[in-house]
Structure formats: C-alpha cells, structure tokens
Homo-oligomer: A and B are copies of this chain.
C-alpha cells in the first residue's frame, strides 16, 4: 500500500504543518514515480510547474518528510542524497536500477539469524542494518 500525495497532505495537516503550493509540488513529484530523485532533480522538476520554488524549500520539505518517516534514502553510488517515497511502516529494502534509478522495494529480509550470530561473535549490540541490491532493470537491459 502506497502513500499518495493526498494521503500525505492530510497527514501533514494533522501534524500541524501548513500545506503550501511549494510542498504540494514536491509531493507531487515524489509520489508520481518509483524513481529516486536527488534534491536538485526534484527542484528542477518542481520549477517547471511552479517557477518560484526555491531549492531551500525543497530541502526543507524533504527534511520534514524524512523526519516524519515518509521518505527512504538510497545509499549506493555516490554521496548525494537521493530519496524515494516510502511505503508506510513495513521494514523493507531497495533494489535499485543503476541505469534509470527505478527502485523496487522488497520486504523479505532474513537477516535476523546473521544478526544474532554476529552479535554473539562480536559482543556488539546490533540495532540496524542497511541492505541494498543494485543492478539493471528489465527495460534498461533491452537497450
């Protein structure tokens, strides 16, 4: 079940945030695709519809959404941030096409056993993990 921009809009209102046209523009872009975008890419797209959004506001909106747990970030390749809209609360990970940026979520993550083993072996108290696959999607393969 996917967040829609409408659902998020009402969620924001609930939390006491104002729903400005700029925020709407960012939401529309993020919700419209499974690609991941960098803040600058979102900025550029947002300006097409709404020429006076500032990059600063894009950053602020992204930070707000991230704080609310509504975004995930993609980590592989590069040290820029890139964001994807998040499916609600479920633990999940990403499979990313390194050509076109499409992100597929998957939930099957059997790392519990490995985590326990590592914990036993090292004495670490493990409290999180990062798992990402990268590759080339079907469409990109055909080119």
Task: List residues of A whose CB falls within 8 A of some B CB.
Answer: 75-76, 79-81, 95, 97, 104, 106, 108-111, 114-115, 117-119, 122-138, 141
A-B complex: 10 closest residue pairs judged by Cβ atoms: A123-B138, A126-B135, A124-B135, A130-B132, A125-B136, A129-B133, A79-B79, A128-B134, A127-B135, A125-B135
Q: How far apart are A74's CB and chain B's nearest CB, in angstroms?
A: 10
Q: A95-B124, A141-B125 are in contact. Are A118 and B132 (CB under 8 A)?
A: no
Cβ–Cβ < 8 Å partners of A130 in chain B: 75-76, 130-134
Q: How far apart are A92's CB and chain B's nearest CB, in angstroms?
A: 12
- A124 & B108 in contact (Cβ 8 Å cutoff): no
Across the interface, name the chain B residue whose C-beta is closest to A136: B125
Cβ–Cβ < 8 Å partners of A118 in chain B: 95, 104, 106, 133
Q: A95-B118, A114-B110, A122-B104 are in contact. Are A127 and B136 (CB under 8 A)?
A: yes
- A123 & B108 in contact (Cβ 8 Å cutoff): no
13 contacts between A and B (CB under 8 A): A76-B130, A95-B118, A104-B118, A108-B114, A123-B137, A123-B141, A126-B134, A127-B134, A128-B133, A128-B134, A129-B133, A129-B134, A130-B134
Cβ–Cβ < 8 Å partners of A106 in chain B: 118
Beyond A95-B118, A95-B122, A122-B137, list 13 extra A-B contacts (CB 8 Å).
A79-B79, A79-B80, A115-B133, A119-B135, A124-B133, A124-B135, A124-B137, A124-B138, A125-B135, A126-B135, A127-B135, A128-B133, A129-B132
